[in-house]
Structure 1
Amino acid sequence: MDSDLVLHVANFSTLFVCMVLKFPQIFVLMRAKSTAGVSLNSLLLELTGYVVFVTYQMYYDYPPPTYLEYPILIAQDVILLLLILHYNGSLRQSLIYALVFVGGWQLLTVQKWIIDLAMSLCTFISASSKFAQLQCLWRSKDSGQVSALSWGMATFTCVTRIYTTIMTTGDMQVLVRFIAMTLLNLWVLLTVLHYRRSSSPKKED
């Protein structure tokens, strides 16, 4: 198969999956009206990583198809954040979070060294978000409100982005980030499935 065709398929399949990536998690929360097993800190760190990553890509004029899904993911994360705050009874804090994120986004592009430094920390920030979710799962031992489908799709999109990064920009910082995110997303997915299997016999008793 022609490499350009594979690249187009990888880009558009990633975009398509990301358009609905958070929907399963959103629907699970709306149905359960509970955030047990879902980490607010993980979501905030993930949102920070997304904002830094898309800002870096836009700052250096990278091809839009290589990052077009991130504004969509940010929008879905904002919906998730509002749902979590709502079910936790702390929706008023959403204004504080909005001010912090908008102010931080503006700060990123003030100087070139700031966006470069932020990008160098982006992998650490995004990895921390996965570890925060893992820690929440280990502590609660309950994955009932965590969508395995969302984490599975997240793993898929990171795998496709490894390929598109190699074939387009070749940016090593971006490549290392996607490799790390693939492994960590897979770890979270397996943990969710583990606790789901562990809880199944109890539900049948």
Structure 2
Amino acid sequence: MGRKKDPRSKENIIQAAFILFLEKGYRDVTIKNITDATGLSKGAVYHHFTSKEEIYMATLEVFYFDLVNQEAEQMITGNFVNDIENVYHFAAEVFARIENLTKTGLDFPIRNYFSFQLESETHSEVRARIRESVVTYRKLAEGIVRKAQENGQISTDWDPESIALQVLGMVEGIAINHSTVKGDIKNVLLSKYKQVFTTYFKMIGAT
């Protein structure tokens, strides 16, 4: 009978590997790095994963795809301004979580997180899945904009897809432009939200 897998060990491997991928990049991380970081034996790591690539895929699942799905769930209040604020706050919380995970040795965790995502471009299946998730997320945002226009929450008659792309681009753009901030990234991002979106909401007549 095979040894029962401890979910806590698997979670520890995923979190430790994620930090290592942020610090060193996928190519330079070894299984030994992961065993050293977790305190587990090589056999224990291979008990949960068959390869470094499989570990990387698991970190993408937890720290990208699951987060995208959770972020999409924030856009359900029926109020356009509240939905966008919820999405932005959720993103700020995610970046704060990443910052806290890597406090011991990574100067710019957010910048490295974007690099972590880009490394997935070398995997055709993952690349296709990311593209699909981006399209789905954009369509969700577009639907919210269209509904807000129908309900009179947005007065401009701009194309819903254009507004959705602008909003999502601003959310990501603010994060990218502040990816080299050291310390308390959450409060930095939240302060920029009011500065940028208050003006934008006025421009599109959002209430």
TM exceeding 0.5: no
Choose between structure 1 and 2: higher helix proportion: 1
User: Structure with the greater relative contact order (CA < 8 A, sep ≥ 6): 1 or 2?
Assistant: 1
TM-score after normalising by structure 2? 0.28
TM-score after normalising by structure 1? 0.28
